[in-house]
Chain A
Amino acid sequence: MKSSENQDQGGNLKALLHRLQGPLIRYAFQITGDLERSRDVVQDTFLQLCSENRASLNGHLEPWLYTVCRNRALDVRKKEGRMNPLTEATAEPSSNSPDAFVSMDRAETFQSALKVLETLPASQQEAIRLKFQSELSYKEISQVMGLSVTNVGFLIHAGLKAIRQIMLEQPRANSKVLRRIK
């Protein structure tokens, strides 16, 4: 009776686990900054999935996984933050100084788009990774990050623009990248 269904479901879930473990760990890592913790977070996320009514998650399973993963990762970061004074402060670039990352000398060291990405405010990095690494839609990202779709659109737009500008304005340092863009 049910066992074959269960096994099918088990098989699908296995495939899901196989496909999403990497991106989810990476995502958690962006938040926690600790790979082992991030693995724990992702394990917890999948374990929670097992306890959910998966029928009700149909159609938004992935954003759900990312949401749970994000919340857990934030919890971890909060706790670790207390254990290691000041890491929180340094881990997150202040979002109210948008010009910090366009400074010339810093730009010169950029070897790749990823390096530029790392200088962006955390929320832009997060949205960009969810978009280009996890291939979520604006709408799904808005669910995961708890923002409006417009907001997500703005974050991604601003992030891409910053990356583009830096790379275009630094032709010598980034000749390789530039060639690819043109």
Chain B
Amino acid sequence: MTLDPNEPRLTAYALGELDETERAAIEYELLHSEAVRRAVGEIRATAEVLRKELGNEPRLQLSEAQRSSIERMFQPAKRKTFFAPSRALYAGAAVLAVASLFLVVYLNWSERRTSLENTFDTDSNGRIIGRGSSPRTVVQESPKPPEVIRKQSHPVQQTPEQVPTKTPVVRLDKEKGGVGIGTELIVRNEAASQSLVQAAQIGQKEIVASSAVAVPMLPPATLRSTAGPGEGGGTAAHSFLRKFLLQDTVSVSQGYESEEQKTLRDKGSYRQDFNTETYDRVVDNPFMRATQNPLSTFSIDVDTAAYANVRRFLSSGALPPKDAVRIEEMVNYFAYSYTGPKNSDPFSTQVEVASAPWKPEHRLVKVGLKGREIAQDKRPPSNLVFLIDVSGSMQPPNKLPLIKRGLPLLIEKLTENDRVAIVVYAGASGLVLPSTTCDHKAKILTALENLEAGGSTNGASGIQLAYDTAIANFIKGGTNRVILATDGDFNVGVTNQGELTRLIEEKAKSGVFLSVLGFGMGNYKDSTLEKLADNGNGNYGYVDSLQEARKVLVEEMGGTLITIAKDVKIQVEFNPALVGAYRLIGYENRILRAEDFNDDTKDAGEIGAGHTVTALYEVVPAGKEGTLPGIDALKYQKPVEASRESKSGELLTVKLRYKHPDGTTSKLMQFPVSDRGTGWAQASRDFKFASAVAALGMILRDSPYKGNATIDSVLELAEAGKGEDKQGYRAEFIELAKTARGPVEGTKITN
């Protein structure tokens, strides 16, 4: 037998890659075939030339800063790093930051199960350590709690009064001081610094397994208490660790970068590489004294994405990251049986007051809006442009394939008055289907069916093209909307988010609205998508199943497609005669300044046909707010005198401003509200159900305001508020709350 000189095994032989048996076979051939000998000689010579030339390529190196950042991680951290006053913080913060990054990396890594076994996923008690909970097991217990001296106030330590009301979303970015500038941490205890080091090495499984570190977690109550005023000592350190290890991966990575690497990489890329899911930080709205802050102003929000996302986490047995739990989106996921407007207003407003189930001495005020229903046949014509992400990451069945199954549900409902176009983007973007009237459904469906992830076409950037297409086919008086379907890694032709947001804001002025549908998991960029939708006069939903697609695209189509009012703002004025303090539950990133309410240039949320919007306020009756941190009496002013209306017995007044979809000036609506002293048990079903959802949200966020809310009380409320529940969404919520029991209670060992 003679070996073909073009046989891959010859190459393997020449390169020393064969085992003994195969080698012997080839050597036999070598003896007998000149051609084989020559081939092997040529292969070796080529290999040698290649080796040499490759070896001569210029040597590449990491930068000094990069190398030292790595080497610092190789070495056990030294105590003095934490002591040195000026640079200390950065070093400590860097270790923490990197540790927290590793957590994210590690957890993503283990989620994907690429190479590691899951020793880290369950602890010795067999308790599942999900994304949210695993870091806690590691960092919270050290032989002795670290002693921390707080030298300056830290944003985290602010009392509710100090938290600026206008910007409730605190971002610890480098401009504001990054990781460390607000605080100086001095860790005095060797064991504690050791635990920091161990925290930095968190990815190592044996640490989790070793008894010195993997001891029971502290009860959340202990951790939580640090958020209140006046605490110090060990719990502050725990809080510090917990905050930075658990929640602030994004901010910390930026803080870290600002010191170590800002010259090395573009803004944001670091964060993307490490954190495949990103959420903006959400800090619970604090209680505000009605005497000092009588006005509460916010923009409505009909987004529902957070609920579906929370559901995804809980279904997989993990606690969602705190910042992914946006309570208003959870509450607004459900439709409530508010009655629509009877007059010509685009929506009706209903307010209900009863006791707060989680804190019976407080009152809970539910403000409900209901957009006018518009019958299918009265629907104005629509001009829709689907902008679909077909990049490689969209391949999994819950992404592009789900889009291809979900969108036909919507297209099915459209008529010959409606138009649909399809724009895709990946490496490049292109118009797959020019705007087509919906009497050509087959053509539309075929175009949709032919989409494939990974493909690319020439053209301008997707979003630009989508808006251009929508504008070119603009239907006056109709619905003009771009519907973006993506996993959120949204970077079409515009390199940063700010630019993208501006582009969308600019385009929103054209009268074309934006709906954002988030698909899939893993690469999911929650915060980006929400911002896009908010800036594009749009709404945002998360689709993880065909059922969800049906809900978003078909059942809520009226609302999604037909905007009946835009820039809807709510301002509530509390009567200090009856209200000691109040707190808006959720809407943390929708808070407006009081003066924005009357400013028609300030963008706010839109409401669609049939949409319901619900907001909850927890109210502390006057005279009972004593335990709240307050401010000293003012030196130069006297307290404002109460007006005659304060004795009217009204609890509050709800004011609403909205614009018609094509209008530029707003209209004002006002509703005074009185409290009849109802207990929550006598409240409406919707009241009970909405408070059940809010309570679950607060439990998942481990909110300091959750009172005595437990999974059991959530279930009780939800059952009582379930009502008819035609679509089964409330029943699903009840099941979900049951699933939450494990992860939630798994976080408490002792209490």
Q: CB distance A114 to B54 under 8 Å? A: yes
Given A22-B60, A133-B55, A82 contacting B492 (CB threshold 8 A) = yes
Report which of B12, B205, B273, B458 forms a contact with A44, defined as CB distance below 8 A.
Answer: B273
- Tell me, yes or no, whether A31 is within 8 Å of chain B by CB: no
Q: How many A-B Cβ pairs are below 8 Å?
A: 206
Q: Which B residues, 1 to 47, have Cβ-Cβ distances below 8 Å to chain A?
A: 6, 8-12, 15, 17, 42-43, 45-47
CA distance A119 to B92 in the complex (A): 48
- Tell me, yes or no, whether B98 is within 8 Å of chain A by CB: yes
Q: Which A residues, 161 to 182, have Cβ-Cβ distances below 8 Å to chain B?
A: 161, 163-164, 167-168, 177, 180-182
- Tell me, yes or no, whether A42 is within 8 Å of chain B by CB: yes
Q: CB distance A14 to B66 under 8 Å? A: no
Q: CB distance B60 to A29 under 8 Å? A: yes
By beta carbon, the residue of chain B nearest A163 is: B46
Stretch at the interface among B196-204, B551-559, B676-684: B196-204
Report which of B42, B67, B426 forms a contact with A17, defined as CB distance below 8 A.
Answer: B67
Q: CB distance A6 to B51 under 8 Å? A: no
Q: CB distance B54 to A160 under 8 Å? A: no
CA distance A129 to B393 in the complex (A): 27
Q: CB distance B491 to A50 under 8 Å? A: no
Size bracket, chain A contacts: 35 or more
CA distance A161 to B6 in the complex (A): 8
- Tell me, yes or no, whether B337 is within 8 Å of chain A by CB: no
- Tell me, yes or no, whether B587 is within 8 Å of chain A by CB: no
* Most chain A beta-carbon neighbours within 10 Å: one of B42, B98, B116: B42
What 0/1 pattern do residues 26 to 64 of A give for CB contact below 8 A with B?
Answer: 100100000111111011101110111111100000001
Stretch at the interface among B70-78, B351-359, B598-606: B70-78
List the A side residues contacting B63 at CB < 8 Å. 39
Q: Which B residues, 208 to 253, have Cβ-Cβ distances below 8 Å to chain A?
A: none
Question: Smallest CB–CB gap between B600 and chain A, Å?
Answer: 36
Report which of B9, B50, B270 forms a contact with A113, defined as CB distance below 8 A.
Answer: B50
Q: CB distance B50 to A51 under 8 Å? A: no
List the B side residues contacting A132 at CB < 8 Å. 47, 50-51, 54
Report which of A26, A39, A128 forms a contact with B66, defined as CB distance below 8 A.
Answer: A39
Given A7-B76, A43-B66, A14 contacting B71 (CB threshold 8 A) = yes
Stretch at the interface among B101-109, B576-584, B625-633: B101-109
What is the size, in residues, of chain B's interface with A at 8 Å between Cβ atoms? 76
Given A39-B63, A40-B273, A47 contacting B102 (CB threshold 8 A) = yes
Given A26-B57, A36-B265, A138-B17, A160 contacting B11 (CB threshold 8 A) = yes
List the A side residues contacting B429 at CB < 8 Å. 85
Report which of B59, B102, B272 forms a contact with A51, defined as CB distance below 8 A.
Answer: B102
Q: CB distance B61 to A43 under 8 Å? A: no
Q: CB distance A47 to B73 under 8 Å? A: yes
Q: CB distance A180 to B204 under 8 Å? A: no
What 0/1 pattern do residues 1 to 35 of A give for CB contact below 8 A with B?
Answer: 01100110110011001000110011001000001
List the A side residues contacting B51 at CB < 8 Å. 132-133
Report which of B67, B75, B392 forms a contact with A7, defined as CB distance below 8 A.
Answer: B75
Q: CB distance B203 to A51 under 8 Å? A: yes
Q: CB distance B50 to A181 under 8 Å? A: no
Q: CB distance B202 to A40 under 8 Å? A: no
By beta carbon, the residue of chain A nearest B5 is: A161
Q: CB distance A14 to B74 under 8 Å? A: yes
Q: CB distance B46 to A114 under 8 Å? A: no
Q: CB distance A89 to B11 under 8 Å? A: no
Q: CB distance B43 to A138 under 8 Å? A: no
- Tell me, yes or no, whether A76 is within 8 Å of chain B by CB: yes
Q: CB distance A26 to B60 under 8 Å? A: yes
List the B side residues contacting A112 at CB < 8 Å. 53
- Tell me, yes or no, whether B713 is within 8 Å of chain A by CB: no
Q: CB distance A22 to B49 under 8 Å? A: no
Q: CB distance B201 to A51 under 8 Å? A: yes
- Tell me, yes or no, whether B206 is within 8 Å of chain A by CB: yes
CA distance A37 to B62 in the complex (A): 11
By beta carbon, the residue of chain B nearest A156 is: B11
Q: CB distance A88 to B62 under 8 Å? A: no
CA distance A78 to B523 in the complex (A): 12
CA distance A22 to B109 in the complex (A): 25
List the B side residues contacting A36 at CB < 8 Å. 264-265
Question: Smallest CB–CB gap between A27 and chain B, Å?
Answer: 10
- Tell me, yes or no, whether A94 is within 8 Å of chain B by CB: no
Q: CB distance A79 to B62 under 8 Å? A: no
List the A side residues contacting B70 at CB < 8 Å. 17, 43, 46-47, 50
List the B side residues contacting A25 at CB < 8 Å. 60-62
Q: Which B residues, 439 to 483, have Cβ-Cβ distances below 8 Å to chain A?
A: 456, 458-459, 461
CA distance A132 to B51 in the complex (A): 5
- Tell me, yes or no, whether B160 is within 8 Å of chain A by CB: no
- Tell me, yes or no, whether A69 is within 8 Å of chain B by CB: no
Given A42-B62, A72-B273, A180 contacting B49 (CB threshold 8 A) = yes
- Tell me, yes or no, whether B407 is within 8 Å of chain A by CB: no
Q: Name 28 A/B residue pairs within 8 A (Cβ), A-sorted.
A: A2-B76, A3-B76, A6-B75, A10-B76, A22-B61, A26-B60, A37-B265, A39-B63, A42-B62, A44-B274, A48-B109, A48-B203, A51-B202, A52-B204, A55-B206, A72-B273, A76-B273, A78-B392, A81-B426, A81-B427, A82-B391, A83-B491, A85-B493, A86-B428, A133-B51, A161-B6, A167-B46, A181-B49
User: 11 extra interchain contacts, Cβ-Cβ under 8 A, other than A39-B63, A85-B429?
Assistant: A21-B60, A51-B201, A53-B205, A67-B115, A78-B391, A78-B393, A81-B427, A132-B47, A138-B12, A157-B11, A160-B43
Pairs A-B, 10 closest by C-beta atoms = A51-B203, A51-B102, A85-B428, A157-B11, A157-B8, A88-B427, A50-B73, A25-B60, A10-B74, A133-B54
**A interface, CB within 8 angstroms of B:** 2-3, 6-7, 9-10, 13-14, 17, 21-22, 25-26, 29, 35-40, 42-44, 46-48, 50-56, 64, 67, 72, 75-76, 78-79, 81-83, 85-89, 112-114, 117, 128-129, 131-133, 137-138, 150, 153-154, 156-158, 160-161, 163-164, 167-168, 177, 180-182
